């Protein structure tokens, strides 16, 4: 399922069986002292892998390119900030290159939640859908299909930490969080339910199951529409 690990014949076979391309998209960004700096993108990649296991298709390498990150928003280091112009161009190129490869459905799962980032990628997906009919693009932040099931938008808190505990438990170190005070966003960069005593691999698994339940049928429906 992973483009970068497949050989040409295996890639072609996967594409023929289910011409669905998944693109995990995140950022290089501070996510608390307990989490890896690539959380947004690692999370989206794990989610895309789970979706692909359900629908078939190919998961492309995660895109680390974020705008309106914690660097300009809250002056955190350990973060790279890219311009909206770069995101526009990169999203546009990805969509047209994937269509050129013969994919009929292109799914961009956004793990970074800044409104600016979501707007840019959705705008490019909408333009792509208007300008051609070889393929259809669907871009959404991962919390959008899961919020109604109790997995909301947040930053580095209970649920994002839980996703890391499920996908990459070796990268989470809860002992690094302060134990003698309340969390302070300006210091800890955590917004949402306190992960201490809340985050768990089970929550990460349940959130992933929610995503697959709510997204996979729509992906297959889009594919059927393009194959008619």
Q: pLDDT by residue (tens digit) across 169-209? A: 999 999 999 999 999 999 999 999 999 999 999 999 999 99
* pLDDT of the residue at 33: 98
* pLDDT of the residue at 67: 97
* Residue 104 CB neighbour total at 10 angstroms: 21
Phi then psi for 107, rounded to 5 degrees? -110, 120
The mean per-residue pLDDT over the stretch 91-117 comes to 98
Confidence of residue 48 (pLDDT cuts 50, 70, 90): very high
Confidence of residue 228 (pLDDT cuts 50, 70, 90): confident
Residue 16, pLDDT above cutoff 80: yes
Confidence of residue 72 (pLDDT cuts 50, 70, 90): very high
Total-model pTM = 0.97
* pLDDT of the residue at 75: 95
**Domains and their CATH numbers in the chain:** 3-149+215-223 (3.40.50.10310)
**Sign of the CA dihedral 1, 117, 218, 136?**
negative
* pLDDT tens per residue, range 109-166: 999 999 999 999 999 999 999 999 999 999 999 999 999 999 999 999 999 999 999 9
């Amino acid at each position: 399922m992973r483009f970068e690990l497949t050989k040409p014949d295996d890639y072609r076979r996967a594409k023929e069986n289910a011409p669905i391309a998944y693109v995990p998209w995140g950022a290089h960004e501070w996510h608390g002292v307990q989490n890896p700096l690539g959380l947004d993108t690692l999370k989206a990649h794990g989610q895309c892998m789970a979706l692909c296991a359900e629908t078939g298709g190919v998961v492309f390498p995660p895109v680390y390119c974020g705008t309106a990150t914690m660097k300009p928003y809250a002056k955190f280091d350990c973060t790279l900030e890219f311009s909206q112009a770069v995101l526009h161009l990169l999203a546009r190129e990805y969509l047209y290159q994937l269509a050129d490869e013969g994919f009929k459905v292109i799914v961009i799962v956004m793990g970074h939640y800044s409104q600016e980032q979501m707007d840019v990628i959705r705008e490019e997906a909408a333009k792509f859908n208007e300008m051609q009919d070889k393929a259809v693009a669907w871009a959404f932040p991962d919390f959008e299909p899961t919020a109604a099931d109790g997995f909301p938008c947040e930053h580095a808190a209970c649920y994002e930490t839980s996703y890391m505990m499920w996908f990459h438990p070796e990268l989470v170190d809860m002992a690094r969080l302060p134990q003698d005070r309340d969390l302070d966003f300006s210091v800890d960069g955590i917004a949402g339910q306190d992960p201490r005593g809340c985050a768990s691999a089970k929550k990460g698994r349940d959130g992933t199951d929610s995503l697959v339940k709510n997204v996979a049928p729509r992906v297959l429906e889009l594919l059927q529409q393009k194959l008619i």
